[in-house]
Amino acid sequence: MHRLPPLLLSALLWSPVQAATPRPAPTAPLRLVLLSDFNGSYGSTRYPPALGRVLGRVLNEWKPALVLSAGDLIAGQKASLSDANVRAMWAAFERDVRAPLAGAGIPFAFTLGNHDASLARDRREAAAYWGAHPPALNYAERSAFPFRYSFTQGALFVAVLDASGPGVDAAQRGWLAAQLATPAARAAAVRLVLGHLPLAGLSREKNRPGEVIRPADALALRGVMERGGVTAYVSGHHAAYYPGRLGGLNVLGSGGIGGRDYVGAPGTARSVVTVLDVAALEKGGEVRLTAYDADTGAAIPVSSLPARVDGLGGPVVRVETLR
């Protein structure tokens, strides 16, 4: 009988054990806070008291790596306001929001809302303000900042769209498709797209044409995100917190300071801020959500939200975790 040399026999016997490579320990989740739609009435340079309470928790309790906002940072979108009025609102935002966060080393990443960037004058002033105060982010592409840009942070890739109105045209969709195909995006465990108007109606008050991305654009945009492996599209405008599934895509409706009723659910309005814990898993990643009532401070169970919202462009079906 043919005998194997002793050294080769030893290698065959021991190689399975020796070849086993320990898996790296999972990294700690990346903590974000989602805070949107907190502007006051037209022209206001004062923010609702709930915003101050929320920022106190951001700075002293949650201490996130990043604050994300789905827009409506100031109260523009009124032609009778002067340039000086709009600049005064951005100065108030600087005083009450951006500067305190920046002082704590917390960048504020945002998309511009209809009240920030609908009118030509508003867009000009927004560009001037953010050109002077760009957030400290690891930008992947920023040629159209502050209206459109992308960045990475840890296991996270974020692409920001200009969805301050109901149209997201082919040029923007092409830009997004190119961003999602980059090595930075493909290497990320979680990919978020941030835009102001939602793909489907969530709040009763805003459930009408012009208040959601128009159907043809929404369908085409959703296809780009589904093909690009987007974890979720995060929107504002409706001020109705809702994590859900629209077709093959997760969507996250950001709450606001001063919320609105869900479609078909009167009496459900409340102010909401959300903590997002982004985790890189062995296969992909996930975003765990903890929402809080901005007025009472109490946590909001996902089970307390409607099981589905049948708004324009929907339905959107509730989910607990984005993955």
Strand partners, 66: 32
In a domain, 13, yes or no: no
User: What is the structure's pLDDT at 217?
Assistant: 98
Q: Which residues make Cβ contacts (< 8 Å) with residue 49, sequence separation at least 6?
A: none
Helix (H) / strand (E) element for 103: namely helix 99-103
In a domain, 117, yes or no: yes
**pLDDT tens across 89-112, in order?**
999 999 999 999 999 999 999 999
Q: Is the dihedral of CA 57, 60, 64, 65 positive or negative?
A: positive
* Mean pLDDT score, 317-322: 97
Q: How confident is the model at residue 2 (pLDDT cuts 50, 70, 90)?
A: very low
**pLDDT tens across 122-154, in order?**
999 999 999 999 999 999 999 999 999 999 999
| C-alpha to C-alpha distance for 52 and 220, rounded to whole angstroms | 38
User: What is the structure's pLDDT at 173?
Assistant: 98
pTM here? 0.91
User: What is the structure's pLDDT at 284?
Assistant: 84
pLDDT at position 19 over 70 = no
**pLDDT tens across 203-256, in order?**
999 999 999 999 999 999 999 999 999 999 999 999 999 999 999 999 999 999
**pLDDT tens across 53-89, in order?**
999 999 999 999 999 999 999 999 999 999 999 999 9
In a domain, 19, yes or no: no
Cβ atoms 125, 81 nearer than 8 A: no
* Mean pLDDT score, 151-180: 98
For residue 318, give its domain range.
24-322
CATH of the domain at 281: 3.60.21.10
User: What is the structure's pLDDT at 1?
Assistant: 41
In a domain, 1, yes or no: no
Looking at 14-28, 31-45, 56-70, 163-177, which range is the least confident one? 14-28
**Structural domains of the chain, count:** 1
In a domain, 6, yes or no: no
User: What is the structure's pLDDT at 282?
Assistant: 76
User: What is the structure's pLDDT at 323?
Assistant: 94
3-state secondary structure the chain: CCCCCHHHHHHHHHHHHHHCCCCCCCCCCEEEEECECCCCCCCCCCCCHHHHHHHHHHHHHHCCCEEEECCCCCCCCCCCCCHHHHHHHHHHHHHHHHHHHHHCCCCEEECCCHHHHCCHHHHHHHHHHHHHCCCCCEEEEEEECCCEEEEEECCEEEEECCCCCCCCCHHHHHHHHHHHCCHHHHHCCEEEEECCCCCCCCECCCCCCCCCCCHHHHHHHHHHHHHCCCCEEEECCCCCCEEEEECCEEEEECCECCCCCECCECCCCCCEEEEEEEEECCCCEEEEEEEEECCCCCEECHHHCCCEECCCCCCEEECCEEC
Residue carrying the six token digits 């190689």: 15
In a domain, 11, yes or no: no
In a domain, 113, yes or no: yes
| C-alpha to C-alpha distance for 293 and 271, rounded to whole angstroms | 6
User: What is the structure's pLDDT at 27?
Assistant: 63
User: What is the structure's pLDDT at 20?
Assistant: 39
